[in-house]
Structure 1
Amino acid sequence: MAATFQVIAISSLDPDGSDTRNEPMLLYPDALKTARQLKSEGKAFRVIAEGDHTEQQLRSFLELGALV
């Protein structure tokens, strides 16, 4: 199964980034683009990975400052 990711902005209303109801499941390139955009906006974010993801994929999110 291909890996999918949810990139969730952390806010004062959801400080744990645990509300995933309205967050789409993205393939890696789109999830990475979303994470980069949030980082450029100075926003904290969390990434949830499902499926067969690689260590390099997770590392790329961690290098952007994601909570995994």
Structure 2
Amino acid sequence: MDLTVDSPYNTYIHPGLPPGAICNPGKDAILAALHPAKTDYLYFVAKGDGTHIFSRTHKEHINAKKGIGATD
């Protein structure tokens, strides 16, 4: 990422909001938000490779974080 590119979307060098949309969710993301899967999961950890670990309890969550070497 080049922080010096003179683009109206580069908010590092141009203060305020960019002139247009910077992100749009896809149809699948909108449908997933409208109709979420029914689970018992309360926590998740992003593993950094595009996958996640989901946990039902805080203890499981802490163990999942330790398992990937995450720190608070």
Band the TM-score falls in, shorter-chain normalisation: 0.3 to 0.5
Bigger proportion of residues as helix = 1
Bigger proportion of residues as strand = 1
Structure having greater relative contact order (Cα 8 Å, sep ≥ 6): 1
Larger radius of gyration: 2
TM-score using structure 2 length: 0.33
